Amino acid sequence: MVTLGMRNIIYRLVLIIIVVSTLSTCGGGGGGDGAGAGGSDLFPSMVLTWNPPTEYVTGESVDSPLEEIGAYRIYVKTETNFNDADNYVEVPAVLDNQVVSSYDLKLSASFFGLKSGVQYYVAMRVISAVSNEVSDFSTPGPPFSF
């Protein structure tokens, strides 16, 4: 059994960024340019996916991600030197009794002040469900832009 009071508890996150265009023909209203009325509609979906951590820094297994992982913190910026003072979006690790393993960065484009054509990097941290300790930053994912 793993003690959840360890520092830098959850260790490995693999980030994958998938671009999914929202400018497809999904039916609905007619004739628009596909950009929509809301500010977030100016960006295509940019889905960040990851494999939930399977082990702690000690090498011990995460026995039950549903019970041991509380949330993910997602950080986005133009540099790869992430730190505690950076803005983040917190995503619950469990939703409808399923382990969460993706997030659409389009949902936070306004919060992060993302702009079209600018290159960004993403890093994540994991928060334990019981002790609320935060892991180290993941290795930043590959650069992306909207």
Give the per-residue pLDDT at 34: 33
Q: Is residue 27 part of a domain?
A: no
Predicted TM-score of the model (pTM):
0.75
What residues make up the domain containing 97? 1-21+38-146
Q: Is residue 32 part of a domain?
A: no
* Total number of domains in the chain: 1
- What's the CATH number where 107 sits? 2.60.40.10
Each residue's pLDDT tens digit in the chain (146 positions)?
333 333 334 444 555 655 554 433 333 333 333 333 334 566 788 888 888 888 877 778 888 888 888 999 999 999 999 999 999 999 999 888 888 989 999 999 999 999 988 999 999 998 888 777 888 888 888 888 88
Q: Is residue 31 part of a domain?
A: no
Residue 77 CA: distances (Å) to CA of 39, 67, 81, 115, 122:
19, 30, 9, 11, 7
As a whole number of angstroms, the distance between CA 143 and CA 63 comes to 32
Q: Is residue 12 part of a domain?
A: yes
Q: Which of 120, 111, 117 is nearest to 141 (CA)?
A: 120
As a whole number of angstroms, the distance between CA 4 and CA 126 comes to 12
Beta strands in the chain (DSSP E): 14-20, 45-51, 69-77, 89-92, 94-95, 98-99, 102-104, 121-128
Q: Is residue 46 part of a domain?
A: yes
As a whole number of angstroms, the distance between CA 62 and CA 47 comes to 25
Q: Is residue 85 part of a domain?
A: yes
Q: Is residue 87 part of a domain?
A: yes
Give the per-residue pLDDT at 119: 93
